[in-house]
Amino acid sequence: MNDFEKVTTGLGEECGVFGAYDMDGGDVAPTVYYGLFALQHRGQESCGIAVTDTYGERKVQSKKGLGLVNEVFDSETLHSLKGNLGVGHVRYSTAGGSRAENAMPLVINYVKGILAIAHNGNLTNAIELRRELELTGAIFQTTIDSEVIAYHIARERLKTSSAEEAVKNAMKKIEGAYALVVTSPRKMIGARDPFGLKPLCLGKRDNTYIFASESCALAAVGAEFVRDVLPGEIVSITKHGIDSDMSMAIAPEKQARCIFEYIYFARTDSTIDGVNVYHSRLTAGKALAESYPVEADLVVGVPDSGLVAAKGYSEQSGIPYGMAFHKNSYVGRTFIKPKQSERESSVKIKLNVIEEVVRGKRIVMVDDSIVRGTTCANIIRMLKKAGATEVHVRISSPPFLYPCYFGTDVPSNEQLIAHSHTTEQIREMIGADSLGYMEIEKLKDMVGELSYCDACFTGKYPMKVPGRDISQAFE
Amino acid sequence: MNDFEKVTTGLGEECGVFGAYDMDGGDVAPTVYYGLFALQHRGQESCGIAVTDTYGERKVQSKKGLGLVNEVFDSETLHSLKGNLGVGHVRYSTAGGSRAENAMPLVINYVKGILAIAHNGNLTNAIELRRELELTGAIFQTTIDSEVIAYHIARERLKTSSAEEAVKNAMKKIEGAYALVVTSPRKMIGARDPFGLKPLCLGKRDNTYIFASESCALAAVGAEFVRDVLPGEIVSITKHGIDSDMSMAIAPEKQARCIFEYIYFARTDSTIDGVNVYHSRLTAGKALAESYPVEADLVVGVPDSGLVAAKGYSEQSGIPYGMAFHKNSYVGRTFIKPKQSERESSVKIKLNVIEEVVRGKRIVMVDDSIVRGTTCANIIRMLKKAGATEVHVRISSPPFLYPCYFGTDVPSNEQLIAHSHTTEQIREMIGADSLGYMEIEKLKDMVGELSYCDACFTGKYPMKVPGRDISQAFE
Amino acid sequence: MNDFEKVTTGLGEECGVFGAYDMDGGDVAPTVYYGLFALQHRGQESCGIAVTDTYGERKVQSKKGLGLVNEVFDSETLHSLKGNLGVGHVRYSTAGGSRAENAMPLVINYVKGILAIAHNGNLTNAIELRRELELTGAIFQTTIDSEVIAYHIARERLKTSSAEEAVKNAMKKIEGAYALVVTSPRKMIGARDPFGLKPLCLGKRDNTYIFASESCALAAVGAEFVRDVLPGEIVSITKHGIDSDMSMAIAPEKQARCIFEYIYFARTDSTIDGVNVYHSRLTAGKALAESYPVEADLVVGVPDSGLVAAKGYSEQSGIPYGMAFHKNSYVGRTFIKPKQSERESSVKIKLNVIEEVVRGKRIVMVDDSIVRGTTCANIIRMLKKAGATEVHVRISSPPFLYPCYFGTDVPSNEQLIAHSHTTEQIREMIGADSLGYMEIEKLKDMVGELSYCDACFTGKYPMKVPGRDISQAFE
Amino acid sequence: MNDFEKVTTGLGEECGVFGAYDMDGGDVAPTVYYGLFALQHRGQESCGIAVTDTYGERKVQSKKGLGLVNEVFDSETLHSLKGNLGVGHVRYSTAGGSRAENAMPLVINYVKGILAIAHNGNLTNAIELRRELELTGAIFQTTIDSEVIAYHIARERLKTSSAEEAVKNAMKKIEGAYALVVTSPRKMIGARDPFGLKPLCLGKRDNTYIFASESCALAAVGAEFVRDVLPGEIVSITKHGIDSDMSMAIAPEKQARCIFEYIYFARTDSTIDGVNVYHSRLTAGKALAESYPVEADLVVGVPDSGLVAAKGYSEQSGIPYGMAFHKNSYVGRTFIKPKQSERESSVKIKLNVIEEVVRGKRIVMVDDSIVRGTTCANIIRMLKKAGATEVHVRISSPPFLYPCYFGTDVPSNEQLIAHSHTTEQIREMIGADSLGYMEIEKLKDMVGELSYCDACFTGKYPMKVPGRDISQAFE
């Protein structure tokens, strides 16, 4: 759920988006800034804010850069961004694709003025679309899908009478996962792909309307949650109010929310599509307790994302919940990694076991996933060294077996321990006394009535996928 | 326990120290760096590392600066610091005394070569000592007490046959709180004031000896805990081994460890003078449950430092423990504070209530202290807004009533809510349904047999104190 | 000719371009870096380098930023740019258009791969072309003309069999001033607009071919001058050698080189289109001596650009040449400007009179231009205060009266002192004893047989111009 | 005379000092800033400003750092330095001794309050004095002589009734070269060593008194030159006016001004001890013409410091003066040096020959010194390549043969070409057609009646010297 987890698990989300439109004309840049802060866990590579005003010259000012929100913006810069309509973005990317040019929001001039776009998600037909566009003379200055989307909106805008229409027509062409916030002169538009793979919600504070990837960002800026943008919905905010276009929506049972938002990506204080993330993880923990009961003295979670599931396991099993770890909250983006030759390991620097808590105890340790297995093995070793007599590992997600084409940065198969090992083999490799993964059929308990995508566990994709990793295709 | 807490409570520790001496001649700068990382919660204003070698030219290289450890050091700088004997420091200071010149370690040339000194604590007779030194022609380039200590060591060194002796003689003059790590050519010396106000411990990894303010820093670098340096003890590490001089020690019952290390400063995974901090806080929570029982549905802790005490309260009372808050771990040193006029409050940005957890519940909320009361009031308001029906506040320390002269940065009396209000008045001001502070007489349960200093609660100082704030006397 | 002059005169050039292609496969980034250094006088706002290789993956790496070449690049970054084909750019811009996004080279993906483009000059039909492109769905991410050029090349490339052809077809559409260096996979193309408004030359060092805005950059990197790229010429460098396409060329007498390159922009050690800049300025000084003889004791030039013309005046008139000024070479881009209330003036800080030289003397002071008149007045005052008995001002260019649409940043009319005052009025306002401007008809002596553009003095533009300032049209 | 020369010749000055005291209570930090700008040629490694006020709390605020004046100070920092009494410093140092801790002014607390000290020069008995101080318990935090001076002032202040007296008594102990500006609460004191090795002058602007290393800094801030501080003089500025103490002065004929200030260090627009630097260099050039006449077509100077002497040679010989070089004014402190393997040389990047000027000419090339000979050889090669038929080199100083102990950073003997080669050998090595060094006996013509130090040419030191290089003794 933050940099620490990213490093330990090797997983990463693609982005967080945030938009704000103050009908009373106040500057929104500080609100976007604090909103991005609350979404920082969704991307730590780069960030940016673009603002315009709806009453004056309608120029766009933007600031983007590599780094965390508090590294990219200083007070002077933030307060120099004037305007009552703004959009912001935090971006995650694997090291290879890390380029200043790829920072968002993307700000473009097109036939109708200036458009700023923030986008979370990956397109599955990006290669075809870029090729198509290039064959009509398009040029690309970044390697992000958002530029493809922007092109389509710009081209469609020529044939339509409104930006909303253009967005809709663009959505007919693009395939894959996307949550979009777009500002066109005097308009703020939010949209989700028909499958609802990526989350987006709407909030309000006084006369300011807000779009955010997660509801936690609404709380951070003192806004009320209004509702989720629905899968396939286009919501448009103008001075005349809110408009909704549902014509791209598909049947609820075909929708495919990313289950990993609930397992790992989203903050526990967010509620997505009516399901609270804390509740969802608690349920996962309970399910694990039902599936894999064990005699033990203490249930502990690996911070931060394993904590709630551990609580659920504890509640269901009756085994006491404990805090076994101290996590160092100062290990940031620019932390100097220990060399192989150095005795300090990254895990030890980030996480320490509280011996007092675990000594002489049989431990149930809950974490959200196992990627390569090395971090998990290290933590188990630390627990045993601290005196734990047994360590039973429970994982609140099924084993990763298939690539994600929608924006989750799952390592390639050869790096995924579950790809080439049985659960028993993995248990032995990590040194656990027992090991249980969340059962695929129980995932549905986490999200109630919602239909979801679990393709990374099952290989059942909700749409046609490229069949190979295209995330670096344009680097 | 980190920047977040510092902001919410307004309290701050003065420093963390770390020293390493590799008998096999390996470079210790990376070890010092990771050690300081583990001590970062003790000071976020500035930091520094000074290294020398014991086999070659014995020059000292140092790097100091304002900022966090990962802001001051980059990989190139860190790996350019060559030498097998090094000392590091993280420093906290109120804004007023924040100066680059005050960063430590202090590196000085004196008659016997170069000496580097890292110091945690405040002297109570610093004014007199500086005056005395000035009257014999001393000049001061910083406003930190460490320079006074360095002067005394240098002057005593002229009359003695060893650096250890000089340190001892200096200790006869200086009064107050100090944990020192000093490197003299080919020697590393650790010392604690006779009262033991500040912690210091000794560790070992292969042939590398380590001093650290807290044992958590030993774990971070993969070292074994050897023992605490005792109050009044001088421990000297040379190639011939470890020497101890206990001649400055006083009777155990006169010792006066800072109780606030256990309540708030130290990391829960540290053990100081034989008492584990986690255990200590758990005990405090249990004591609160005994003193102030209440009918409630859930016990929650304010992250991070209230969490363990909340666990203790839960265990003693049988009321379930819950996680009511999500803390944003990205709010760093350079975070742009919201303006008064902005709707976002610092508290909301840092902390969000998980509604799911608290809705409809009667809550016991445990925190480590109340300073001004405003943050506490904000958090209670958030809980109630999220649906908590009652909020009973339990504070794991007695009310602050007296200034600290030993290095804890307690706000002045007029800012301390407890100074001018009764508990009932405070309860009303913060909007709690009930309020209970840790009872002074129960503090001893937190630390077992150890004698401690609780002067900030009782006004009973273990030694003569200046009677006025001298922390900014030399600015 | 450098930052100092820019400040004193208020004039600025638009850019410098540099390209290098090492047929032997060596890395060219350092060569581009040193080449840009030699062109730094042409633009101090931002700079950038993009490199690719012609033998391997042919990815493009680039680094761009606001600032001088030595501010944007450090050694690590420079040496991380691998590839044997590279292009660089230094950019000048008025404060308003200063945006990180506008830094060049522009790197784009198009149908044939990656293309990097560096461009000096302004298009006169940019507004029409952008509009046209937008109406076919183009999006723009910068406000620079180069993006328009890139689009045209990309679109033309679809219809043609080679990049050279595409450049030629693009040139048929774009109007105005441009010197271009373009790298397409395995090719480096240089081109000048048919009027030759902006300079570009070709050099060679071993097996490395080089394009540069000025020949001084060839000398800086140890390359031999091969020849100028001709007005309207497209020169293409591939592994098969050099190709030239002259089909866009126009009759020599219609060509219109910017005369201001010779008067002020270019370095005195450059030779452009066969005319040496030093020689050109010397000639201007001689012409001034013929036009405006005066009895005086000393001829002095205002550093740096007035020095050579002063030498010419001296040679022609027989009046001794002297060095009256010391220029402070440390006044850089980030210099804190004195406030109005401060007694120090920018002029005094940058320039000091050597009293010894001017005391009691009748001075002829030569400068390249008068824009607002205030700097000139200040310098005259300093000379008189230092004891000069008379100051006769000679300006090596005619009065500015008309806007430039080709990339020279001439202030608007209301700021131009010559626009609303007679020469006699100006003389009185600046406090000179006499004042003579270069006669328009003598400009031709500066450039021999070459035909040139002097529209800023005469209003006779070599092509249709927009009739209003469009330099900020897309901000 | 600036970074460029430093690199080409390998010589460096130790420092520049500047002080300002506004009797009317205005802030002086901006004045000190612009004064330091004008002295930047005296030191580019680090700089600093310390200010206090004489009417209020009399605290001292300071800012110091590595880098040029415009790199270390931004507008916010500069304008935050409040106070009407301030002192500033620019420092040069060889790479080895480059440490942030050594930046000046040195600000110390001593028995009488806070004292800030800026110092130019080296002490010859620094080792003895440090040892003596250490034996009485002194500690040193820097490796600069200024700390030794500060200690002596502090110690003497205990025995005397005024700071001036303390400075005088300190001057009785310290030996070597020094120009000092000291601020003690409500006082600004300037002092020069009895030999007058380093320059210092006094200026005034309205009610602000100013000390500066060179008069050019007075001009830069709009102040009038009042007079030079005399060798051995102590000038004290208080609200009661100016006091002078001449009791440390020695006979004029024993004074020993550094002749290299006139040859190279000082700016041509400065006047030191009544002798104008421009005049002095002009005289040197004339002397060279008398000593070494030659048939030639053009006299050229190597920028910047050779230019005036070239003018003198031209005036005396009647051979025309020409500008043969373009110097790149953007090559700054952080310039990435070409690797050996790269074809670009540092000389070519910094300096280019204007072929037009030198082609077919017999050239007299004047420079201020030859250190290693490599740069000179490179320049001659460039001239010949550009078509010069003969290059006759004239050096406006005698050959360096002896070390300087007073603060001039002359390379060690093995690096000095003149140390081990005859003039004829050097001529051949550098490829000159003839070579003439300034004759030692003609140096006196440069400075009129003043007595001076020429020990680096003659080995005749004005005082006892250490006999070995002690400049790095405390590193």
What tens digit of pLDDT does each residue of A91-122 get?
A: 886 433 456 777 889 999 888 888 999 999 99
Binning pLDDT at 50, 70 and 90, where does residue B340 land?
low
The residues of A carrying an active-site annotation are 15
Tell me the percentage of chain A whose pLDDT exceeds 90.
73
Instruction: Please say whether the beta carbons of A1 and A300 come within 8 A.
Output: no
pLDDT at A470: 61
> At residue A360, does pLDDT exceed 90?
yes
Binning pLDDT at 50, 70 and 90, where does residue D144 land?
confident
How close does chain A come to B305, measured CA to CA in Å?
Answer: 11
A141 to C474: CB separation less than 8 angstroms, yes or no:
no
Binning pLDDT at 50, 70 and 90, where does residue A11 land?
very low
Parts of chain D belonging to CATH 3.40.50.2020: 272-458
- Which residues 26-65 in chain A show a CB within 8 A of chain C? 59
Looking at 1.20.120.330, 3.10.350.10, 3.40.50.2020, 3.90.550.10, the CATH number of the domain C279-447 comes to 3.40.50.2020
Ramachandran quadrant class, B67 (left: phi over 0; alpha: psi -120 to 50; beta: rest):
left
pLDDT at C472: 59
Give the chain B residue whose CA is nearest to the CA of D63. Answer: B100
Q: CA distances (Å), B380 to each of A34, A215, B352, B358, in order?
A: 22, 21, 12, 12
Measured between CB atoms, does C129 come within 8 Å of chain A?
A: no
Closest C-alpha among A90, A117, A238 to residue A180: A117
Look at the block and give the residue holding tokens 């198009």.
C110
pLDDT at D410: 72
* Non-local CB neighbours of A259 within 8 Å, separated by 6+ positions: A443, A446, A447, A452, A453, A454
Stronger pLDDT, D475 or B276, i.e. the higher one: B276
Task: For residues C115 and C189, give the distance between their C-alpha atoms in angstroms, rounded to a whole number.
Answer: 11
Residue A456 assigned ligand-binding role: yes
Instruction: Please say whether the beta carbons of A179 and A117 come within 8 A.
Output: no
Binning pLDDT at 50, 70 and 90, where does residue D118 land?
very high
Task: For residues B149 and B167, give the distance between their C-alpha atoms in angstroms, rounded to a whole number.
Answer: 9
Count of Cβ atoms closer than 10 Å to residue C412 Cβ: 9
Q: Among A468-472, B23-27, D131-135, whose mean pLDDT is lowest?
A: A468-472
Whole-prediction pTM? 0.90
Q: What is the average per-residue pLDDT within D67-91? A: 92
Closest C-alpha among C85, C430, C452, C11 to residue C239: C85
Residue A55 has what DSSP assignment? Answer: S
Q: Among B38-42, D136-140, D269-273, whose mean pLDDT is lowest?
A: D136-140
Which residue among D59, D111, D137 places its CB closest to the CB of B134? D111
Which residue among A216, A221, A326 places its CB closest to the CB of B267? A326
- Which residues 89-108 in chain D show a CB within 8 A of chain C? none
> At residue B151, does pLDDT exceed 70?
yes
Q: Write out pLDDT tens, residues B213-246.
A: 999 999 999 999 999 999 999 999 999 999 999 9
pLDDT at A98: 53
Q: What is the average per-residue pLDDT within D270-281? A: 97
Q: Write out pLDDT tens, residues D297-311.
A: 999 999 988 999 999
Contacts of A475 in chain C (CB under 8 A): 59
Binning pLDDT at 50, 70 and 90, where does residue B5 land?
very low
Binning pLDDT at 50, 70 and 90, where does residue D207 land?
very high
Residue C411 has what DSSP assignment? Answer: P
Query: Which of D139, D156, D158 to probe the B interface (max B CBs under 10 A)?
Result: D139
Q: What is the average per-residue pLDDT within B15-39? A: 96
A137 to C136: CB separation less than 8 angstroms, yes or no:
yes
Task: For residues A186 and A191, give the distance between their C-alpha atoms in angstroms, rounded to a whole number.
Answer: 17
Binning pLDDT at 50, 70 and 90, where does residue D347 land?
confident
A106 to C155: CB separation less than 8 angstroms, yes or no:
no
pLDDT at C408: 80
D154 to B137: CB separation less than 8 angstroms, yes or no:
yes
Backbone angles phi, psi at C287, to 5 degrees: -60, -40
* Non-local CB neighbours of C95 within 8 Å, separated by 6+ positions: none
> At residue A305, does pLDDT exceed 90?
no
For chain C, which residues score pLDDT lower than 70? 1-14, 93-99, 332-334, 340-344, 468-475
Instruction: Please say whether the beta carbons of D196 and D13 come within 8 A.
Output: no
Q: What is the average per-residue pLDDT within B86-104? A: 73
Contacts of A307 in chain B (CB under 8 A): 323
Q: Which two tokens stand for residue C84?
A: 């044997």
Closest C-alpha among A456, A454, A371 to residue A414: A371
How many helices (H) and strands (E) would you count in chain D? 18, 24
* Domain D3-255 in this protein, CATH class: alpha beta
> At residue B442, does pLDDT exceed 60?
yes
Give the chain A residue whose CA is nearest to the CA of C133. Answer: A111
Question: Does domain D272-458 sit in CATH 3.40.50.2020?
Answer: yes
> At residue D13, does pLDDT exceed 60?
no
pLDDT at C475: 55
Task: For residues A424 and A432, give the distance between their C-alpha atoms in angstroms, rounded to a whole number.
Answer: 10
For chain A, the average pLDDT equals: 90
Catalytic residue among B15, B47, B201, B216: B15
pLDDT at C8: 35
Q: What is the average per-residue pLDDT within D142-153? A: 90
pLDDT at A1: 27
CA angle B245, B247, B248 (to 5 degrees): 105
Q: Which two tokens stand for residue B162?
A: 């060893």
Contacts of C311 in chain D (CB under 8 A): 322-323
Binning pLDDT at 50, 70 and 90, where does residue A430 land?
very high
How close does chain D come to C463, measured CA to CA in Å?
Answer: 33
Length of chain C: 475
How close does chain D come to B161, measured CA to CA in Å?
Answer: 14
Binning pLDDT at 50, 70 and 90, where does residue A62 land?
very high
User: Highest mean pLDDT: which of A237-241, C370-374, D141-145, D430-434?
Assistant: D430-434
How far the first Cα of chain D sits from its last, in Å, is 27
> At residue B176, does pLDDT exceed 90?
yes
Look at the block and give the residue holding tokens 């000794």.
B202
Tell me the percentage of chain D whose pLDDT exceeds 90.
73
Q: Among A304-308, B273-277, C409-413, D341-345, whose mean pLDDT is lowest?
A: D341-345
Residue A216 assigned ligand-binding role: no
How close does chain B come to D199, measured CA to CA in Å?
Answer: 27
- Gyration radius (Cα) of chain C, Å: 23
For chain D, the average pLDDT equals: 90
Instruction: For residue D177, count CB atoms less than 10 angstroms from its CB and return exposed for 0-12, middle for 13-18, buried for 19 or more.
Output: buried
Query: Which of C139, C148, C149 to probe the A interface (max A CBs under 10 A)?
Result: C139
Residue C376 assigned ligand-binding role: no
For chain B, the average pLDDT equals: 90
How close does chain A come to C357, measured CA to CA in Å?
Answer: 47
Q: What is the CATH number of domain A278-449?
A: 3.40.50.2020
Parts of chain D belonging to CATH 3.60.20.10: 3-255
Tell me the percentage of chain A whose pLDDT exceeds 70.
92
> At residue B23, does pLDDT exceed 70?
yes
Residue A264 has what DSSP assignment? Answer: I
Measured between CB atoms, does B438 come within 8 Å of chain D?
A: no
Q: CA distances (Å), D52 to each of B94, C339, D19, D116, in order?
A: 22, 21, 12, 9
pLDDT at D274: 96
A330 to B70: CB separation less than 8 angstroms, yes or no:
yes
Task: For residues C53 and B237, give the distance between their C-alpha atoms in angstroms, rounded to a whole number.
Answer: 57
Backbone angles phi, psi at C321, to 5 degrees: -90, 140
